[in-house]
Structure 1
Amino acid sequence: MKMIAVGDNVADCYIDQGLYYPGGNCVNVAVNCKRNGFRESAYIGIFGNDDKAQHIKWALAQEGVSYERSRTMIGISGQPRVNLTPEKDRVFIGGPKDTVQHVVRLKITPNDLEYISKFDICHTSCYSSLEPELEAIKKCCDISFDFSDMKDNKYLEAVCPHVKYAFLSGSDMSLSKVKELINKCHMLGAEIVGITRGSKGAIFSKEGKIFEQDIVPVKVVDTMGAGDSFIAGFLTYYIQSGDMAAALKYAAKCAAKTCTFYGGFGYPHQLESE
């Protein structure tokens, strides 16, 4: 099994700790897919030319995730500021708005598409500004997409026809609204739709058949990246086995494990004083 993630990379800056950690939805999913059993995992994104970008690249190399087709431009990395609540939930409190991903959008070339076609699945997200490229990528391999809380009809209509796996956040949604959203995503073309609901667990559907998964209790240190770990765990197990229930159980365990350490997948680095 081979997967590629295309999109965002950031350095999550924990103000209270004076540390930053490599992260970003696509980077987190790529790393966790490799940890969970994908034979090959790769990443394409735009890196800055600062120390934070070098640390993210170094961490990817430690995890065996290739980034050979990524771009590097002059500018700073995404670096959202993070604080943890007493309940250990991560809260983003801003960050610079002139990062390389704010300045330019990743455009996929024919050579990129040829490279992507060597993989079984491509993961991306609403944070990656890759929506115009989805139609072309779909011709190369299946697409997994993290919508986060982007649930308006116009956005769903633009993205769902191109993706096989649709992941959404819905902790504030009633059960009836969750099922309504699932049906809408199916009607627009997504084969598997999953909605994570925080402490209420997750509800997934494969072509209309509903599966529910509770959270795995754990002593929480930090929730950063737990949703990305859930996605990676699900994709790894499901693509190997085709078993929805077992894949969801495994994904919940992966998310719980991520909550036991700081950052999306570790690798802290000293945060320079400003």
Structure 2
Amino acid sequence: MKVAAIGFCCTDVYENLNRHYSTGNGIDCIVNLAKRGIKTSAVTTVGKDIFGQEMLDLCSKYGIDSSHIQINEGDTSVFYMTLKNGTDRYHIKNVPGVMENYSPTTEDIAFTKTHEYIHTDMFGHVLHLLPEFRQAGCKIILDFSLNKNFNELAPVLKNTDFGFFSFEEYNDNIEEFLKKAHSFGPQIVTATFGTDGSMSYDGKKFYKQGIYPAEVVNTVGAGDSFISGYIYGLIQGWDIPACLDCGARTSAEIVSKFDPY
């Protein structure tokens, strides 16, 4: 099985801490999958700067295929970050760089189609390609993050197999939200809600999972690592409770370190 992350990537920079790392929803996910021995690829763009080289170095370190990372004139996308309460991420500003005008080439698209699973999000400029990827037999993993607007979600959900949503905490409306999200077509929809755990819905039943205790260093990567654990379980043929458990364990491991993988 092979998993491609296509679309958004960036470098998170904490100027007040003099630290940074290569990241992105899909990048974090496939690094954590690569650590488990899954074959992965990154399909995105970086600039001809030190951050672009560091992204390529990250892929090399974990054996991720970077042959379809475009290296374009300009700077790699950067998110300037800080930590609230010492551990919780807070976005200060984004400088889009080469990501702003990213478009995968015909060769990038053909390469992505050779993967059984494709991970992307709402910001990577590739949502129009989802029907084409699914027609090629690929399973689509969509990280919807905090987006809850069904006017935007509906056309994407109908081309999604496994959808993931983030909530700050559990509330009584989440089950109805997942029912509605599932009605547009995904096989499974899943929500994470911080310290309250996570929940999946497959159209028939809700499955709930608690968290594993961890000493939190940085919450960045919690959701992406959860998805990686969950998808690893799917690849192994595990049932939904086992996938949720693997996601929760992986997330607990990642939040206990600064970098998101």
Indicate yes or no: 2:90 matched with 1:100.
no
Q: Structure 2, unaligned stretches of length 5 or more?
A: none
Indicate yes or no: 2:141 matched with 1:166.
no
Residues 32-60 of structure 1 show CA distances to partners (whole Å, capped at 9, x for unaligned) of 1111231x111100111111110111011
Q: 1:186 matched to which residue of 2?
A: 182
CA distance in 1, matches of 2:188, 2:236: 15
Q: 1:80 matched to which residue of 2?
A: 79
The aligned runs of 1:256-271 (5 Å cut-off) are 256-265=252-261
Indicate yes or no: 2:230 matched with 1:217.
no
CA distance in 2, matches of 1:96, 1:105: 14
Q: 2:10 matched to which residue of 1?
A: 10
Give the deviation of 1:142 after TM superposition: 0.6
Out of 187-196 and 66-75, give the one that drifted further: 66-75
Q: How many residues align?
A: 260
Give the deviation of 1:105 after TM superposition: 3.0
Give the deviation of 1:241 after TM superposition: 2.1
Q: Over aligned residues, Cα RMSD in angstroms?
A: 1.4
Higher strand proportion, which one?
2
SS in 2 for 1:62: helix
Equivalent residue letter for 1:33: L
- The two structures have a TM-score, normalised by structure 2, of 0.95
Give the deviation of 1:87 after TM superposition: 4.8
Residues 12-32 of structure 1 show CA distances to partners (whole Å, capped at 9, x for unaligned) of 101221111111111111111
Indicate yes or no: 2:199 matched with 1:200.
no
CA distance in 1, matches of 2:196, 2:40: 31
The aligned runs of 1:26-37 (5 Å cut-off) are 26-37=26-37
CA distance in 2, matches of 1:56, 1:70: 9
- The change in CA–CA distance for 1:19 and 1:148 in structure 2 (over 3 A counts) is same
Give the deviation of 1:116 after TM superposition: 2.2
CA distance in 2, matches of 1:159, 1:174: 24
Of all paired residues, the percent bearing the same amino acid is: 26
SS in 1 for 2:108: helix
Q: 1:139 matched to which residue of 2?
A: 135
CA distance in 2, matches of 1:179, 1:59: 38
CA distance in 2, matches of 1:219, 1:196: 19
SS in 1 for 2:95: coil
Q: Is the 8 A contact 1:192 1:204 kept in 2?
A: yes
Q: Is the 8 A contact 1:186 1:208 kept in 2?
A: no
Give the deviation of 1:81 after TM superposition: 1.1
Give the deviation of 1:124 after TM superposition: 0.4
Residues 108-129 of structure 1 show CA distances to partners (whole Å, capped at 9, x for unaligned) of 52x3343223211000011212
CA distance in 1, matches of 2:196, 2:225: 17
CA distance in 2, matches of 1:14, 1:249: 31
Give the deviation of 1:173 after TM superposition: 5.8
Q: Is the 8 A contact 2:170 2:196 kept in 1?
A: no
- The two structures have a TM-score, normalised by structure 1, of 0.91
Q: 2:150 matched to which residue of 1?
A: 153
CA distance in 2, matches of 1:44, 1:53: 13
CA distance in 1, matches of 2:112, 2:135: 10
Structure with more relative contact order (C-alpha pairs < 8 Å, separation 6 or more): 1
Give the deviation of 1:172 after TM superposition: 5.0
- The change in CA–CA distance for 1:172 and 1:261 in structure 2 (over 3 A counts) is closer
- The change in CA–CA distance for 1:113 and 1:77 in structure 2 (over 3 A counts) is closer
Give the deviation of 1:204 after TM superposition: 0.8
CA distance in 2, matches of 1:247, 1:172: 20
